């Protein structure tokens, strides 16, 4: 593994970006960088960026490139990212992709792989509606597809508090899927043109998908 592996996880809401990013973090010592998590933290902290982002997030639209890029640049400036990063939910627009190319070039880094998690839209409503996370460590769970081994107790940290996202409802997920197809899916072609695109069938078992991703990361780092 080189010090500067940069992976991008592309996929609609519910595709499994967060689930897989956390597994790659553990396996390869990379750092997960989720712009959704960073934006939710900004909203919770009541920062100016958080206040400006909230309405778009609640309605299922995208937050402005300006706000997202400022948050991303701040996070990339922290020293732990030099171990390599998994970008989860970023970039989501052509403008963000171009800004990322510039940022990486200025730091002597490059994209190892942009991995498209390929899923059926129809299944994403159920994935998103059943999603919840551990309030203490952030581990992701699902009402039907990924339950803790002991009911009500986090497998990872033993905590018993869980939370659901305000935007994880059937109404908002339609808008989020539309935003994905209009603004983010074109990046698949963009990264294909750069020779960085890898496609993974993300409809099956979580463990099988993790193996496919690990094989890609190993080939990129080799
Ligand atoms: P994203 O970060 O792409 O929005 P998540 O990783 O949060 O997606 O996954 C969405 C929900 O679907 C979570 O509740 C997660 O536990 C569940 N999930 C993730 N991958 C799979 C899979 N391969 N099969 C079934 N459910 C999955
Ligand atoms: P999901 O896991 O369902 O794909 P995220 O947690 O990545 O959702 O994002 C939640 C919301 O935060 C998005 O619907 C959008 O409003 C905002 N957001 C996250 N990342 C970005 C980004 N890169 N550009 C614009 N908006 C973003
Ligand atoms: Zn936990």
At residue 2 the predicted structure's pLDDT band, cuts being 50, 70 and 90, is very low
Q: pTM to 2 decimals? A: 0.96
| CA-based torsion, 24, 33, 53, 120: positive or negative | negative
H or E stretch covering 52:
helix 48-59
Average pLDDT over residues 93-120: 95
The answer to whether 92 is a known catalytic residue is: yes
Q: Which residues are within 5 Å of ligand 3 (an ion), measured at CB?
A: 134, 136-137, 139, 154, 156-157, 159
Average pLDDT over residues 189-206: 97
CB 108 within 8 A of CB 4: yes
Task: Share the mean pLDDT of the chain.
Answer: 95
Q: Is the CB of 131 under 6 A from ligand 1?
A: yes
Average pLDDT over residues 196-219: 97
The answer to whether 176 is a known catalytic residue is: yes
> DSSP letter at 118?
E
CB 180 within 8 A of CB 186: no
Distance (Å) from CA 137 to ligand 3 centroid: 4
Helix, strand or coil, per DSSP, at residue 189: helix
* The predicted structure's pLDDT at residue 222: 61
Pocket of ligand 2 (CB under 6 A): 13, 17-18, 35-36, 39, 56-57, 60-63, 68, 89-90, 92, 96, 176
């Amino acid at each position: 593994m080189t010090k500067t592996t940069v992976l991008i996880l592309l996929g609609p809401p519910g595709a499994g970006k967060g689930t897989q990013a956390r597994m790659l973090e553990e396996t390869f010592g990379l750092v997960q960088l989720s712009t959704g998590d960073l934006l939710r933290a900004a909203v919770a902290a009541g920062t100016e960026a958080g206040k400006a982002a909230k309405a778009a997030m609640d309605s299922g639209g995208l937050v402005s490139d300006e706000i997202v890029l400022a948050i991303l640049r701040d996070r990339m400036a922290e020293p732990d990212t030099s171990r390599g990063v998994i970008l989860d939910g970023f970039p989501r627009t052509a403008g963000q992709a171009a800004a990322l190319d510039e940022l990486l070039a200025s730091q002597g880094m490059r994209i190892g792989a942009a991995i498209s998690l390929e899923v059926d839209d129809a299944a994403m409503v159920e994935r998103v509606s059943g999603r919840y996370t551990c309030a203490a460590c952030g581990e992701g769970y699902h009402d039907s597809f990924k339950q803790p081994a002991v009911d009500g107790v986090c497998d990872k940290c033993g905590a018993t508090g869980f939370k659901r996202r305000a935007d994880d409802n059937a109404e908002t997920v339609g808008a989020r899927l539309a935003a994905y197809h209009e603004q983010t899916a074109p990046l698949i072609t963009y990264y294909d043109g750069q020779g960085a695109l890898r496609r993974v069938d993300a409809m099956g078992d979580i463990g099988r998908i993790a193996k496919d991703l690990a094989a890609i990361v190993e080939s990129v780092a080799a």
